[in-house]
Amino acid sequence: MFSAATLTLALALGTTQLFTVGVAGDLDRALASRSGDVGMDLSITAEAPAQHWVVERVSQLSARERVELYIGRPRLRDARKMPNLATRVRDFYADPAVRGFDAMRAEWFAGFQGVVFTTPRELVQLQVMVARNLFFQDRPVDAGTVRAEIERIRRVRAELAGLELFAERNVVFAASYDTQRGSGREVFGRGVSRGRVERQAGTFQFLQPDAPGAERRTAMAQLQSSLSAAAPTTFFFEGHGRETALQFAGKLTSAELAELLAANDEQRIVISASCQGHGFARRVLDELRRKAPAQRLPVIVVPEEYGQDFVTDAFNDDFKRVELGLATGESTLGKLMERANIATSVYVPDEQNRPMQIL
């Protein structure tokens, strides 16, 4: 079934960055075992041996095997809730932006100064990102465009590394309302994560319109006012979600959020700690591009990519505590990229206001 092995990865797009991921599936375990890295804490800094091994292994895989390796094990507390592998592969290919993925050749990703791969899965992750970004630019998939896109990702990541997620920003912390069985304790918007975001924020507003006694109409008006304010704003959502909507004020659809974000051209950051956040993020971006093509796209951060559920538990999930830096108070985009799980996705607007995935 699933290996419990954890590898420390180093994918340096500009500088060496460390990621911790769970390695899943017989394929990944078999590949890893060839280099003796299962169960070890691995950090390879000698580029040539690491790249040679990874490129060689990935070049031996079919497109379907690469997808299965990439999807891996979602961050589920209860694996029985996980969609079967065939469904997840189907969902992967349902994204038109990955249509160039099958044509990716492993050797196109070798030989970059400062780029270190320590597992096949990490190289495949970069292949997916590059395929999406070339789709957004309407560019063909070949050795030249792939290598140019890798350099562009390196450059943009370095440029945005210092972007603060909460500090000196107008922060709207929005949460679903739900309670734990038995204890009745609230699941979302609880004290620890909420308090640590508030301590970093320039201004802070907490909205939970579905809670008993709350006014849903008032909360939506407050959200609209905050997102249209002439100030850098972060919309942080914690709660239930699906690809089409967040559970907020009953239901906040991707189209509704896009309309709120289109209010002005201030820099917006959207962070959604919810299930199926990647699909929701892509819908928001598509809605904005269709309805307000001149509107500056937001930076969007979500903790999952493959349509799986994301389990959040107060302050105990790594996405909020570690990756967003709430435990240390170091919440910048650069720090997030250093710490991120391989499933975490980050979209930013590029120089022509097109979506660009950098993680």
First to last CA, the chain: 27
Asked whether residue 125 carries a pLDDT value surpassing 80, the answer given is yes
pTM over 0.75: yes
> What is the DSSP pairing of strand 18-22 with strand 170-175?
unpaired
Asked whether residue 324 carries a pLDDT value surpassing 50, the answer given is yes
Question: What are the pLDDT digits (tens) for 224-277?
Answer: 888 888 789 999 998 888 889 998 888 899 999 999 998 877 889 999 988 888
**What is the DSSP code string of 252-280?**
EEHHHHHHHHTT--S-EEEEEESTTHHHH
| Whole-number Å distance between alpha carbons of 247 and 235 | 14
Q: 170-357: which CATH architecture?
A: 3-Layer(aba) Sandwich (3.40)
Domain(s) of CATH 3.40.50.1460: residues in the chain: 170-357
Average pLDDT over residues 208-228: 83
- Both tokens of residue 323? 């990756």
Buried b (16+ CB within 10 A) or exposed e, 139-178: eebeeebbbebbebbbebbeebbebbbbeebbbbbbbbbe
Q: What is the mean pLDDT of the chain?
A: 78
**Is 6 strand, coil or helix?**
strand
Q: Which residue has the higher pLDDT, 72 or 26?
A: 72
- φ, ψ for residue 297 (rounded to 5)? -70, 150
pLDDT band at 36 (very low <50, low <70, confident <90, very high): very low
The confidence score (pLDDT) of residue 114 equals: 59
